[in-house]
Structure 1
Amino acid sequence: MAVPVGRPAVTPPPVRFADLVAAEWIKIRSLRSTSWTLALVTLVVIGAAVAAAMADYNNFPGYSPETQREHPFSLHDAFPAAGYMSLMLAAGCVGAVTATGEYGSGLIRTTTVAVPARGAVVAAKAVVTAALWTVVGLSVAACSFAVSQTILSGRDAGITLGHPGAVRALVASALLAPVCALLGLGLGFLIRHSATAMVTTTFTLLMLPMFFSTEKRWSAEVRNMMVDSAWQRLTMDWVPSQADSLIPLHTATLTQSWVAYALWPTAAVALALVLVRRRDV
């Protein structure tokens, strides 16, 4: 008697990483808050550059002849601290929510069932987050530089990208957004709670550096490795002199600042990759 042979089990094809990236892009693009946040932070940063440039434009006749000739404020006006602190806050918090949102809604269970390789999910979110905020950062930095220098050119105080330090400042300001977003993403996976992750990200980016002074070397070295300190150093268009009492005693080198840029997001995402494989959903 012939024994019926059953159909062989159909094994679903493995999920490709490109598919994960596409899925994460759909998730972040479908959120209405994403477009509003990006539009708002863009307006804030460019508006801060316009305000800084207009202030120096109006005050220019009262400046000393040396200041009018050297116009050391031009690069500072292109990348004002107020605007870029807002960018850091927005990018970091959105990055954190990108990770914690699925934990809060419970969607993470569906995601891990569909894709058991949790590390691949984290990596896909990191790729999408980095790409999105790099585009935003580059667009904002280029626009704020162009608008501010157009205003200052009315006083013959505008600069071009050929100005010493201008390209470095532009690149550093453009990369500030993805650096903060990836840091927030990593903290989001570590903490898994939206409010706590956003507060922790804000504290790490904006408050923690205040606990370290620049008077003692050990404290200054720690502060120099903070993201905001690295950004401020990379956007300087002058070489610090210790003879100037207004300049911190222990200023970071450019290499240290670039290392800080790379270290924070890499460490946060790497730690998240390790922990998501070991923890329950």
Structure 2
Amino acid sequence: MNLVRAELLKIRSTNTWWIFGLITLPLWGLALLINWIQSNFLLSPAATEGASADDLAQMAAAAESVNVATNLYTNGQFFGLLIVMLLAAIVVTNEYFHQTATTTFLVTPRRESIIIAKFAAAVILSALFWLITTALNLIAAPIVLSSLDVGTQLGEPAVWRAIGLNGLAYVLWAILGVGAGVLIRSQIGATITLSTVYILGTFGVALFVGLLADKFGDWVNKLQVLVPPIASGLMISGTELPGNPPRWVGALVLIGYALVAGVLGTWIAKRRDVS
């Protein structure tokens, strides 16, 4: 616990965490606006004009009250997970940026203990970000749902399940971030690389898989779940959506990535020279 408290103190003693916190708020607001517009479109008659049978089934499922609600109660996940991952990576890269890594490992020779403490600190930080965004969503979502003539849906178990799984996603992405920080020790390099891969990689893979689906069939689209941000989004869907894998597949994929990042990150930290 002393090591975890020390890692939390390191986070609090820098400006990085609250700068990222301030960035999170406008991104959350932007996501809310986008989700509001999207939900309004899904619930309008214009959404089904000229759509194929498969698209109609997917839109009908997405327009169900519980799915509209879960989307709003987990608002901001896409950008929120990116922020948490970057902060978790910085928990590691800060040591190299401020040249304190050698001292840290000399004071505590068991490197795995330090890395585990960093994982724990990143998880606590991710839980804090999840709690804040969830609190904002619990305030904003009922207002948006009321404007759409949809009830709050807070009596639906699927809504609370989605909120809980959203918290799990934040925790798993924090673990991914620490693992990535061990691999990419440069603070600037980690920030740029992870942001680029997260944003451009997500849309790039989705586009590429879509092109393959046109040639080989719709089954290829299900492979998108192997992309971590898409797996995170699948986890928090209110009901099973036509043409998509089950929610548990998204959770399993994300847990797999987190386990690999955690084990690999700890192993590399133990063996790599820090001088």
Q: Same fold (TM over 0.5)?
A: yes
CA drift at 1:166: 1.2
- The answer on 1:193 being equivalent to 2:186 is yes
- Equivalent residue in structure 2 for 1:213, among 209, 216, 220: 209
Q: What is the deviation of 1:258?
A: 1.2
Structure with the larger helix share: 2
CA distance in 2, matches of 1:120, 1:262: 21
**Structure 1 length as normaliser, TM-score?**
0.76
- Residue 49 of structure 1, aligned match among 32, 37, 40: 32
Which ranges of structure 1 fall in alignment gaps of 5 or more residues?
1-17, 242-247
Structure 2 letter corresponding to 1:213: V
Where does structure 2 lack aligned partners over 5 or more consecutive residues? Answer: 49-59
Deviations 1:122-151 (A, max 9, x none): 110100100111121133124214311233
SS of match in other structure, 1:156:
coil
The two structures have a TM-score, normalised by structure 2, of 0.78
Deviation (angstroms), 1:51: 6.0
Q: CA deviation at 1:224?
A: 0.9
- The Cα of 1:279 is off from its aligned counterpart by 1.4
Gap change, CA 1:218 and 1:118, over 3 Å in 2: farther
Q: 1:182 to 1:204 in 2, by over 3 A?
A: farther
Q: After the TM superposition, which residues 1-281 of structure 1 pair with which residues of structure 2 at under 5 Å, given as runs? A: 18-46=1-29, 48-49=31-32, 52-53=35-36, 71=65, 73-80=68-75, 83-163=76-156, 165-209=158-202, 210-211=204-205, 213=209, 215=213, 220=221, 222-241=223-242, 248=243, 251-281=244-274
Q: Deviations over 1:214-263 (max 9, x none)?
A: 6258854543122211122123234333xxxxxx4xx2222211112212
Q: How far, CA to CA, are the matches of 1:46 and 1:188 in structure 2? A: 28
- Using the alignment, how far apart are the partners of 1:110 and 1:61 within structure 2? 58
Task: Give, in whole Å, the separation in 2 of the partners of 1:264 and 1:47.
Answer: 28
* Cα drift, residue 189 of structure 1: 0.7
Distance 1:60 1:258 in 2: 26
Identical aligned residues as a percent = 22
**Aligned Cα root-mean-square deviation (Å):** 3.1
How far does residue 273 in structure 1 lie from its aligned partner after superposition? 0.7
Q: Cα 1:56–1:273, aligned 2, differ >3 Å: closer, same or farther? A: closer
